[in-house]
Amino acid sequence: MGLATPSLPGAPESLEELLTATDDLFKWVNPDLPEDLHFLRVDGSTVLGSVAQEEEAWLELDEVELQLLHDAALNHALRPG
């Protein structure tokens, strides 16, 4: 179970396709899926980057984004069940 459904600009069907294509970031490889999924900010800077065949992924977060991720992870970890 993920931390949260991402909030992304764009067509809702695009987000639905991303969320249902695979549950493994490293399965984003040709020919079935485009390779190396990235999420970018409006200014073009990277939020999440990946190189599927190398099984590498990274986040480039500012302090506010990092705190939000930390809080979400902590809240998730503290939930019963």
Could you tell me the residue ranges of all domains in the chain? Answer: 12-78
Asked whether the predicted pLDDT for residue 55 surpasses 50, the reply is yes
Helix or strand run (H / E) with residue 69? helix 63-78
> DSSP class of residue 65?
H
* 29 beta partners: none
**Per-residue model confidence as pLDDT tens digits over 40-49:** 888 889 999 9
pTM of the model: 0.68
Q: Is 37 exposed, middle or buried (0-12, 13-18, 19+ CB in 10 A)?
A: buried
User: Tell me, what's the pLDDT at 2?
Assistant: 38
CA distance linking residue 61 with residue 67, whole number of Å: 9
User: Tell me, what's the pLDDT at 8?
Assistant: 52
CA distance linking residue 4 with residue 75, whole number of Å: 11
